[in-house]
């Protein structure tokens, strides 16, 4: 403090920087600069945005502690941080100029942007395991799902002992893939036609297939559907499967470290992530925690993921599944 109880210039500067990082909605800011949301890849806790002119792809979230908006670019591992870093990387302007620009976003009316272009109210959702559990328990265990058939996944895959009981279907027809951590059910992936989400109030952990004592391989994919697709394309009786539901958080890395460490000696981990820069980043993260366990990178032979590969192979089955569909579209 200086003078008559006034904050020092350095303290005032820190306070202003904190406000800029916390109070400016980075999704709105990015949308104002031409970025558009990718709803297929976004979830309750993070927004994926792309710039149509530069093909830059960023993932935006909000930290639980200080409530700062943060991002990272899937094209450049060094491009990450807060809104200050976002502007600095794209304009190379001095910090003083960046602060002057961002001040105009505090407490002023901004140009209206269509809600279809970004998610204006993204925030760290309140964690509520009890609510997540109630929603999941209300869903029905099923042996087959029309939506998954339309993604090329056959009934015999869904009824395989490896996957029995690893998904449910709710009243809207959404398929729920449960995530669990050391404390039990933590959340679930929710999938349907034109619908991808993660349980509100949930925490991303790991979706897993049933485990076998003799398993010698662990396949890790970005979604449960990709894991099911990989199995159908390359079935193996000694393989278990896991999904991260997108990018890896700290808790998930800890869970995967424990999961890999519990595999029998001589086991192999397969990084079956998407054929893109983000998939390579995820693979690098898995290699960093795998210790002495061998990590193999299996890249889909066509863009972008293993379900795309499966759909190409199962075109006749998918056409037959679509022909059997009756009634209106399900989902949200």
Q: How far apart, in whole angstroms, are the C-alpha atoms of residue 40 and residue 20? A: 29
Q: How far apart, in whole angstroms, are the C-alpha atoms of residue 313 and residue 322? A: 16
Q: How far apart, in whole angstroms, are the C-alpha atoms of residue 104 and residue 124? A: 25
pTM exceeding 0.85: no
Which H or E element spans position 178?
Answer: strand 175-181
Domains and CATH numbers, the chain: 9-103 (no CATH), 129-324 (3.40.1360.10)
Neighbours of 309 (CB within 10 A): 21
47-50 and 184-192: which strand pairing? unpaired
pLDDT tens, the chain, 332 aa long = 444 554 444 666 778 888 899 888 898 889 888 898 887 777 767 888 888 888 889 989 888 778 889 998 888 878 888 999 999 999 888 888 888 888 877 654 444 444 444 444 554 455 678 888 999 999 999 999 999 999 999 999 999 999 999 999 999 899 999 999 888 999 999 898 877 788 877 888 999 999 988 999 999 999 999 999 999 999 999 999 999 887 777 888 999 999 999 998 899 999 999 988 888 989 999 999 999 999 999 999 988 899 999 999 999 999 998 988 754 444 43
């Amino acid at each position: 403090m200086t003078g008559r109880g006034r904050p020092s210039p350095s303290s005032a500067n820190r306070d202003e920087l904190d406000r800029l990082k916390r109070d400016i909605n980075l999704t709105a800011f990015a949308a104002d600069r031409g970025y558009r949301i990718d709803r297929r890849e976004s979830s309750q806790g993070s927004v994926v945005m792309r710039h149509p002119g530069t093909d830059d792809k960023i993932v935006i979230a909000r930290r639980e502690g200080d409530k700062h908006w943060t991002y990272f670019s899937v094209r450049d591992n060094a491009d990450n941080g807060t809104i200050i870093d976002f502007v600095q990387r794209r304009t190379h302007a001095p910090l003083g100029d960046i602060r002057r620009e961002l001040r105009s976003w505090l407490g002023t009316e901004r140009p209206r942007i269509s809600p279809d272009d970004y998610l204006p109210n993204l925030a760290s959702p309140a964690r509520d395991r009890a609510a997540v559990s109630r929603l999941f328990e209300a869903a029905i265990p099923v042996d087959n799902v029309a939506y998954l058939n339309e993604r090329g996944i056959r009934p015999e895959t869904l009824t395989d002992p490896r996957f029995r009981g690893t998904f449910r279907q709710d009243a809207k027809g959404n398929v729920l893939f449960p995530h669990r951590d050391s404390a039990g059910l933590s959340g679930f992936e929710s999938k349907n036609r034109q619908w991808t989400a993660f349980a509100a109030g949930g925490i991303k952990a790991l979706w897993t297939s049933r485990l076998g004592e003799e398993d010698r391989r662990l396949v890790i994919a970005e979604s449960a559907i990709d894991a099911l697709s990989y199995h159908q394309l390359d079935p193996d009786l000694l393989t278990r499967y896991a999904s991260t539901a997108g990018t890896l958080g700290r808790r998930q890395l800890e869970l995967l470290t424990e999961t890999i460490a519990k595999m029998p000696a001589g086991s192999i981990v397969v990084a079956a992530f998407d054929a893109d820069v983000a998939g390579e980043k995820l693979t690098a993260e898995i290699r960093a925690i795998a210790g002495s366990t061998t990590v193999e990178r299996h890249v889909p032979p066509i863009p972008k993921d293993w379900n795309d590969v499966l759909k190409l192979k199962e075109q006749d089955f998918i056409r037959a599944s679509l022909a059997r569909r009756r009634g209106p579209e399900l989902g949200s």
